[in-house]
Amino acid sequence: MASYPPRYRPIVAEELCHVILEYDLWKQDQLPTGADGHQLTPQQHKDIESDAVILADAILFPKTEFVARFRHHQQALAGLDADPEKILKRCVDQTAGEFEVWELVAARRAECLGLITADQRKRLFSDRILF
């Protein structure tokens, strides 16, 4: 994993964000009753993961910079006579390369920022992203 930076950067960022968001839990000698991972409900686990992913994406892809790079690629490709969805996919791919992450992660951030829809993300990239 560590030999492919675009793959591990988002994972490391997410794990760091768990420490940031759950700092009060990490600094205690032991977890409060009911806080062990196996004691969480599926929804609690999903919420915890979602919060860490959203913060990690915000750290890895500052909104202003991400939107500017994405729009730059859209403008550069605007004159092409190509399927608009292929152009969107290419914009995400190029932006992902600039931020050194894999495309699924950049697509998730593009969706969060309203640059692509959830349906476009699922169709063009994957429906595997849960958060």
Question: DSSP states of 44-112 as a string?
Answer: HHHHHHHHHHHHHHHHHS-HHHHHHHHHHHHHHHTTS-S-HHHHHHHHHHHHHHHHTS-HHHHHHHHHH
| pTM of this structure | 0.82
The whole-number pLDDT of residue 60 equals 95
Q: Which residue would you say has higher pLDDT here, 30 or 73?
A: 73
* pLDDT tens digits for range 13-60: 999 998 898 887 777 776 656 656 666 788 877 888 899 999 999 999
* pLDDT tens digits for range 104-114: 999 999 999 99
Q: Contact, 125 vs 104, CB < 8 A?
A: yes
